[in-house]
Amino acid sequence: MCLAVPGRVLDIGEKDGTRMATVDFGGVQKEVCLEYLPDLQVGEYAIVHVGFALQRLDEESARQTLALFEELGMLQEEFGDPWEQAAAQAGADSPWPFADGPFPGEATAPQQVQEEGRP
């Protein structure tokens, strides 16, 4: 699912001729395009969808929405680690590629047979 999430503008700059901002979404920071809201300022809140700030939002509404999304686990779903999410959906005991040993579902490699007389 892809949500439109409220976030607070931390700083504004330009990247390749496009007005961009670093936006905080309740602790997760992402780079966001400001072309649809060219007058948005540092400290203001905006609703962001797929990397674009789409609409200005008041602080109280933004905080309430972020709290609700957090309570429902939607922020983790939106911003969480996709590898961890895929491993959880697959029912893996530990999230690949961080686990030691074979990949989830992969058989272990056969052990090498030692030659007779060699340790």
Scored b (16 or more CB within 10 A) or e, 44-54 reads: bbbbbeeeebe
Classify each residue of 102-117 as buried b or exposed e, where b means 16 or more C-beta atoms within 10 Å of its C-beta: eebeeeeeeeeeeeee
Give pLDDT tens digits along the chain (119 positions): 467 889 999 999 999 999 999 999 878 889 999 999 999 999 999 999 989 999 999 999 998 988 887 787 776 666 655 555 555 666 655 444 444 444 444 444 444 444 455 55
- Specify the pLDDT at position 28: 82
Residue 98 DSSP code:
S
Say what the pTM is.
Answer: 0.60
- Give the model's pLDDT for residue 109: 46
